[in-house]
Amino acid sequence: MSDTTTTTDKKLEKVMNKLEKEGMENVKTLQKKEGMIPTEQSLINLMQKGADEFEKEMGRPMNYGEMREIYG
């Protein structure tokens, strides 16, 4: 494995962990504001924000597997 691949893998892992943590915190905030089950649009907005941040950090869109790993 090359250094570039290793660096990219580490960056990907760091970004995904960060987005997952932020997503969980944001869901808790939504639950406090909207009730135990946040609205569908609120959750979609949360995931879109994460996808936008992922693309900004990684320089490419999030693939389906990455989206599932972060947001279940």
pLDDT recorded at residue 62: 96
**Whole-structure pTM value:** 0.83
Name the more confident of 2 and 66. Answer: 66
Name the pLDDT band for 3 (thresholds 50, 70, 90). low
Please tell me the distance from the alpha carbon of residue 26 to that of residue 39, in angstroms, as a whole number: 13
φ and ψ at residue 10, rounded to 5 degrees:
-65, -40
d(CA 56, CA 36): 31
Neighbours of 39 (CB within 10 A): 12
Per-residue tokens: 46 = 């949360």
Q: Which residues contact 11 (CB under 8 A, 6 or more apart)?
A: 57, 58
